[in-house]
Structure 1
């Protein structure tokens, strides 16, 4: 009798355990009432969860649709929030006699959430790769259970241990420098076996990488950055995810990814997005091919995929309070889906800004991707800011060359003269370098050229656009892409306990580094609140004798810049520039000396730069 009872009890326990409803993932874990978009997608993942029926106990929201796929481990619940109010309710799943109740919440939006100010032309972004900036909490260097579970600072492709606390601990340094926003390379979980330090193979879209810190620590970093008067721009990746992402390892459906059965690499020919002569085959191979093998390519044409990605970005904006997004590999994704994403984000947050990585070799190609581009008409990307990669190339050549008809600063003049291709030239992200390129100075020997640095930085901070500075530029960090991508992302000096040099402090910097830092700080602090630069018109002159002259003007305030691209002293005829010289004298903001412009000429030293403010 006892034996039979035990067998029966064991059978019931095993059967019950096997049939218990186990929800491994529920995304998003919460949402908000009062959003402009009133449709909520709740993705649930668990063994045979598609066999469940789903109900909600909400008093104000209703289930709109249940979506099941060939893979029984997924269930999508679409909820209608058109009359929803903030409340807590239950999602009730039932499969036969088994029932599971999951608490859910529609939160009250924070006051003013929709009115946040995104980054704009008044800002200067400071680009940080979190793993390489500073290690504030060594206890999270190794997280049990993660695949890449070691730290090796000697491995350029390995994890080095930088984290949220390292950034937070050095916010005073960043704020004192004078930048107004930090742009963080990806901070979401990248539980990948190789190269996970850079963050571009996301394995959990709703979780901060534990080796950087928790989601709560990310909120704390955002709040502390805001308290210092700076904004936060978050890197996002919609084109692809990491191959260890549960969405790829156990796909909801075959059409969730492009080329789901076999790795096929993109041709990287994203010109097929606008090439009037392109073939359907070439376009498919460029857009559907994977960026690299560990990064499977999302099929954004699938409306459920599109909803998942769009909703995820809004979750980070609303809950974490970020002020902007930089979208990786923007032209590799589906144009219409990315356009709809930008439109929906702007509808929820009218002043929020997104910058797309538009790594293309010509300004015509880049301009196609900007909001209201005539080249894309009648389609519209709704992407306000694009990255001016061609100008980066021009700047990296111009300040090395002796200027003549088509070299040196003449390259800059001629390039800016083509801004007619852009719908809005002021909303271009401008930069000397970033985490994917050689640094502005490739070698320490090159970094000895302080005149080149001063000219390049002055131009970057006074021309049209939204400037971005890569961490360490202010202390003349150098790197050459030829030595490997990991070297482009070297550790900031002093970010780790035991570093021989601490560039976060004046005493820890060399005289040369302090000179570069001081110049950078002076220019950045001067730029803050300067409407002539942030909002002003741009007028420039054809370079004469290798000297480029331009004016930024807003209302009654103006700035006039003289850039000499010559290795010899030059004397300028001021009558050529009289229309931008409203007074007889002005102070050069760099030297703080008074410059007399009442006469007929002005002498400028070799490779010098003069910035006059009226």
Structure 2
């Protein structure tokens, strides 16, 4: 009888494991991944409900939902992405379509769906070998959160941030007037950690994007990350430290957060390609990247929901956008692409940069597909070292090398066709190359020196042979 009971208990345990949200878990998020970033409310409305939405109101709900993401997983996968990052799903106060004004950290926002919808999204993603990253806020709440009135000692005294060079003010001030958690209160930290673990336990998500990291003291970020990693060692944490200084961002690596969104590289791409300031900005960004201790876990992006769309300032948006995507897909770190980039969706400052997605593919869509495929097929673009190549005022290039394989990214920044000749930092025995994007491209390698004629505002991904 005891043996039958033991067997029965064992079988039940196995069944529960199979049916658990983590049963279909995929490989941990890492350097080989490519992330597609979605503002859920603006992506796809697949499950109309009774909750109010008005697409004409740029600062209100537009109707996008979790079911809408589920129905577009195959599309996202077809672009080459292996993971999605979605804006916060927690219940928000009126107007919080973006998810950053929480009023209940344990409930899914009804405009987006419910907890079962979120679980199904994770399950469906995992079935496709894709991973899911939830956006999580541990710095603040919405102004209407009950805690603001019921637990005033959970928050710092109300004070706006007026001096962004005063780190204490940045950490304790009310960002955009939002109530700022006081993590020095043990009850606050316990609540935030329990909340975060609850979402992982319930849904089986694969990672968190941590919002407003530089507004939380490192001591408490460390406690938070340690608690997550203690239960889920392979769980991926990527932080937002909105700052142009790589050294400042790297200072947060001690907290246990795996990687950070690479804002210095964002500024470099923007200045060189969107603002035509020459190659120096991009070159400085590449050099500053050497300060990162986990460079291949950083997030490389060209725009997001907090800055104007990359194409918004350009007269010829497609050419420059394709160059920017070529950088993102060949650079160190994990590429992160904001929804709509694949169709050159325009948009200015917030909220204009959060327009509704349009599912009409164009030339940029196909370019992105080809670039993600190139990244996946060439390990040096994922794991390789990086060496800048000086091309003067009208060019930008670097070489990625890993275990004997080497690829050069080259951009013609000018408005005219131009011949470039340059010496490879690592010449080895290379005697020829193939352009992985356009095999018809011709050029030569002689004694470690490459010569190639390039078209205006073009990019080249040269596989050395």
Change (3 A) 1:359 1:111: closer
Residue 426 of structure 2: SS of its match in structure 1? helix
Q: Please, which of 394, 399, 406 is the counterpart of residue 268 of structure 2?
A: 394
Change (3 A) 1:164 1:111: closer
> Is 1:592 equivalent to 2:439 in the alignment?
yes
**Distance between the aligned counterparts of 1:169 and 1:418, measured in 2?**
40
Q: CA deviation at 1:123?
A: 1.4
Q: Please, which of 351, 356, 371 is the counterpart of residue 486 of structure 1?
A: 351
**Distance between the aligned counterparts of 2:341 and 2:105, measured in 1?**
31
Residue 426 of structure 1: SS of its match in structure 2? helix
Question: In the alignment, which residue of structure 1 is the partner of 2:43?
Answer: 133
Q: Please, which of 426, 432, 449 is the counterpart of residue 579 of structure 1?
A: 426
Give RMSD over aligned pairs.
2.5
Q: CA deviation at 1:596?
A: 4.2
**Distance between the aligned counterparts of 2:388 and 2:419, measured in 1?**
18
**Distance between the aligned counterparts of 1:339 and 1:115, measured in 2?**
25
> Is 1:350 equivalent to 2:198 in the alignment?
no
Q: Please, which of 523, 531, 536 is the counterpart of residue 379 of structure 2?
A: 531
Question: In the alignment, which residue of structure 1 is the partner of 2:131?
Answer: 231
Native 8 Å contact 1:410 1:542 kept in 2: no
Question: In the alignment, which residue of structure 1 is the partner of 2:293?
Answer: 423
Q: CA deviation at 1:128?
A: 0.6
Native 8 Å contact 1:563 1:607 kept in 2: yes
Native 8 Å contact 2:37 2:336 kept in 1: yes
Q: CA deviation at 1:324?
A: 1.0
Q: CA deviation at 1:187?
A: 0.7
> Is 1:603 equivalent to 2:453 in the alignment?
yes
Native 8 Å contact 1:586 1:594 kept in 2: no
Question: In the alignment, which residue of structure 1 is the partner of 2:396?
Answer: 548
Q: CA deviation at 1:166?
A: 0.8
**Distance between the aligned counterparts of 1:564 and 1:334, measured in 2?**
43
Native 8 Å contact 1:400 1:408 kept in 2: no
Q: Please, which of 283, 288, 302 is the counterpart of residue 413 of structure 1?
A: 283
**Distance between the aligned counterparts of 1:301 and 1:178, measured in 2?**
42
**Distance between the aligned counterparts of 2:275 and 2:114, measured in 1?**
48
After TM superposition, the score normalised by the length of structure 1 is 0.68
Q: Please, which of 335, 341, 362 is the counterpart of residue 218 of structure 2?
A: 335
**Distance between the aligned counterparts of 1:355 and 1:400, measured in 2?**
26
> Is 1:163 equivalent to 2:65 in the alignment?
yes
Change (3 A) 1:108 1:336: farther
Question: In the alignment, which residue of structure 1 is the partner of 2:5?
Answer: none
Question: In the alignment, which residue of structure 2 is the partner of 1:241?
Answer: 141
Q: Please, which of 46, 49, 53 is the counterpart of residue 151 of structure 1?
A: 53
Residue 528 of structure 1: SS of its match in structure 2? helix
Residue 424 of structure 2: SS of its match in structure 1? helix
Q: Please, which of 153, 156, 162 is the counterpart of residue 267 of structure 1?
A: 162
Question: In the alignment, which residue of structure 1 is the partner of 2:6?
Answer: none
Native 8 Å contact 1:301 1:334 kept in 2: no
Native 8 Å contact 1:396 1:440 kept in 2: yes
Question: In the alignment, which residue of structure 1 is the partner of 2:334?
Answer: 466
Show structure 1 runs of 5+ residues with no match.
Answer: 1-84, 87-106, 143-149, 274-282, 372-379, 494-501, 504-508
**Distance between the aligned counterparts of 1:172 and 1:111, measured in 2?**
20
> Is 1:437 equivalent to 2:307 in the alignment?
yes
Residue 187 of structure 2: SS of its match in structure 1? helix
Q: Please, which of 165, 175, 185 is the counterpart of residue 291 of structure 1?
A: 175
Q: CA deviation at 1:401?
A: 6.1
Residue 134 of structure 2: SS of its match in structure 1? strand
Q: CA deviation at 1:477?
A: 0.4
Residue 247 of structure 2: SS of its match in structure 1? helix
**Distance between the aligned counterparts of 2:255 and 2:45, measured in 1?**
38
Aligned length: 447
Q: Counting helix residues as a fraction of each chain, which structure ranks higher?
A: 2
Larger radius of gyration: 1
Q: CA deviation at 1:441?
A: 1.0
**Distance between the aligned counterparts of 2:301 and 2:315, measured in 1?**
17
**Distance between the aligned counterparts of 2:414 and 2:24, measured in 1?**
50
Change (3 A) 1:227 1:113: closer
Residue 225 of structure 2: SS of its match in structure 1? helix
| Deviation digits for residues 445-490 of structure 1 (CA, Å, limit 9, x no counterpart) | x364332122111011101111111100110101111xxx221111
Question: In the alignment, which residue of structure 2 is the partner of 1:256?
Answer: 154
Question: In the alignment, which residue of structure 2 is the partner of 1:147?
Answer: none
Q: CA deviation at 1:138?
A: 0.6
Q: CA deviation at 1:534?
A: 1.4
After TM superposition, the score normalised by the length of structure 2 is 0.89
Q: Kindly report which structure 2 residues correspond to 1:358-377, keeping only aligned pairs within 5 A, or say none.
A: 358-369=241-252, 371=253
Q: Please, which of 395, 402, 409 is the counterpart of residue 561 of structure 1?
A: 409
Q: Kindly report which structure 2 residues correspond to 1:15-30, keeping only aligned pairs within 5 A, or say none.
A: none
Question: In the alignment, which residue of structure 1 is the partner of 2:13?
Answer: none
